[in-house]
Amino acid sequence: MKGFNILLITTGGTIAQEHDEYGRTRQRKDEEGSSNPFDDCITEIKKRLSEKASKYEETHFIEEIKTEELFNKDISNIISEDWVLLIDKIAEEHDNYSAFVITHGTNTLGYTLAALSFALGRLGKPVVLTGSQISYGQLDFDALMNLENAIRIAAYSKEKLYGVMVVFGSMIINGTRVKKTTEFDYDAFKTFGESKLIGRIGNSVRFDVAALNAHRSNWKNPAQSQEELDVTRRFDMNIASLTEFPGMNSSIFRALVDSEDSKIKGFILRSTGAGDPNVAEPDVLYKNLREGFEFLREKEIPIVVTTQAPDGIASMDINTPGKLARSLGAIPARDMSMESMTVKLAWLLGRKLPYDEIRRQMGEAVHGEIK
């Protein structure tokens, strides 16, 4: 491979949408059937970044940016098979490019970032995702700025960058810590919980050195070639995600598992407090979820418990309900985002690991999803 080459993969989403005569968004199609609106601006981006490379030594000199449409979907319609297409494309092209940039819609971006993070073990090159709040070509659109900044980080030369991350607005965030917090602001994403941004991008790039080092440490022994990649690409999405409320009936777990066509293999429960589901002792005379938790333990079906508190941590070791739930087999989500815990559980189920091994690995950080 000569020079520094980037593969730009497009997948649809707002960044590639257009508007009809009524102002409604739709997936873009040109006469050849491509959804990529960026061909006319890639040359200009490459020119500007090449000037930065020679003047400020901020980026590598980019020899080529090749664009490839992998699929073109409204991004709310993303499924796990689409993650596999992306994983396979990156693995297949690993040795042909220096870095990868993916344009993606914002609604499911956190899930795709988590999927790539877990599946692409030992990733030794930057995989940078971005998107936009406003479609390319519309008034005050942010698509072009986000795309250029994503390419800028993918080609960054002052620090060795690798692993999965998002560049959006002014934020650079680890792929397993991404949370969309607004459908309006240009800075649509923040880093989840108490974890720090990898850095910020504006006139210059400013990295948080500790956060950058932590991000890099998540990708141990980064691969130098495709053969060294550790790719585990199967996700079992037979997961039920529930929100607990006072008086919730414990029979819901049995009903979901035992129904005639059920394939449920795992649960996520958004509970209260520090991960404190109502699993009171049997002699307490009110409805609770204890029987359901006992049923799941007997069936060896993992249940991950998180908190409904937006900034909470589901430690399950503070209050009696949480401690009881842990004794019944529940897995504390700790400070994982909903996106990361869902994809991680699907990834572990897809590897067909034993029940106790899934419980163990859910509690261990793989790529920074747990602080």
Query: Confidence class of residue 133 from pLDDT cuts 50, 70 and 90?
Result: confident
pLDDT at 31 over 50: no
Give the domain-ending residue among 231, 262, 284.
231
Mean pLDDT, rounded, for 124-153: 83
367 lies in some domain: no
Q: In what order do the strands lie in the sheet containing 99-103?
A: 62-73, 4-12, 99-103, 126-130, 163-168, 171-174, 199-201, 205-207
d(Cα 347, Cα 234) in Å, to the nearest integer?
A: 6
pLDDT at 79 over 80: yes
- DSSP letter string over 193-239? TTPPPSEEESSSEEE-HHHHHHHHHTS-S--SSGGG-EE-------E
pLDDT at 34: 52
Where residue 209 sits, what CATH number does that domain have? 3.40.50.1170
pLDDT at 329: 96
Give the domain-ending residue among 231, 265, 291.
231
d(Cα 304, Cα 174) in Å, to the nearest integer?
A: 22
Which range of residues forms the domain containing residue 33? Answer: 4-231
Q: Are 47 and 162 contained in the same domain?
A: yes
Mean pLDDT, rounded, for 69-90: 93
Q: Are 124 and 202 contained in the same domain?
A: yes
Q: Are 10 and 123 contained in the same domain?
A: yes
H-only helix segments in 36-125: 39-55, 80-93, 109-119
pLDDT at 11: 92
8 lies in some domain: yes
Q: Are 35 and 79 contained in the same domain?
A: yes
Structure tokens at 284: 């307490």
Q: Which of 55, 368, 18, 11 is nearest to 198 (CA)?
A: 368
- 347-362, pLDDT tens digit by residue? 999 999 999 999 999 9
- Beta-strand (E) ranges in 245-325? 266-271, 303-307
369 lies in some domain: no
Number of structural domains in the chain: 2
Which tops the pLDDT comparison, 277 or 29?
277
Query: Confidence class of residue 26 from pLDDT cuts 50, 70 and 90?
Result: low
47 lies in some domain: yes
pLDDT at 152 over 90: yes
Query: Confidence class of residue 134 from pLDDT cuts 50, 70 and 90?
Result: low
Give the domain-ending residue among 177, 211, 231.
231
Q: What is the pTM of this model?
A: 0.91
CB 89, CB 79: distance < 8 Å: no
pLDDT at 22: 43
Q: Are 113 and 209 contained in the same domain?
A: yes
